[in-house]
Structure 1
Amino acid sequence: MKEKMIEIGSIGLFNEYLQGIGIRKPPLDTIESHWEYRQEDKLTAMVTKTSSGEVRLYLDARAISLN
């Protein structure tokens, strides 16, 4: 799953990418451990959050390059 995703280090940049491809994600404080968005059964965006609060943001680069 993650091998097709690239990690984005900035929440601001991640949000910009999501807006650019028309995805609305829930606020980070409402995500308990995992959030993902799929288009046509393909994983497009993902957020993981550890119990210590560390957040990792991932995008499928193909979704960005197609728009």
Structure 2
Amino acid sequence: QLIMNLFADDTSAFLDATDNLEDLQKILDKWCLASGAKFNLGKTNIIPIGTEEFRKVVILVLRKPEEA
């Protein structure tokens, strides 16, 4: 289940541990294409919430190759 909140120029998405971040990206890409909107990735934050183990996994998955 994907939960999203869109208000003015702010968007929040809440994903469960079983959700796929790539699926969210595909949904957002389609929405941007249809609406003509763009996401400013420089202002985008991903905040993992959950157990410490889960947060560490999310951080490792999202870490840029040059940061590894």
Q: What TM-score does the superposition give when structure 2 sets the normalisation length?
A: 0.27
More helix by share: 2
Q: Larger C-alpha radius of gyration, 1 or 2?
A: 2
* Relative contact order, higher structure (CA 8 A, sep 6+): 1
Q: What TM-score does the superposition give when structure 1 sets the normalisation length?
A: 0.27
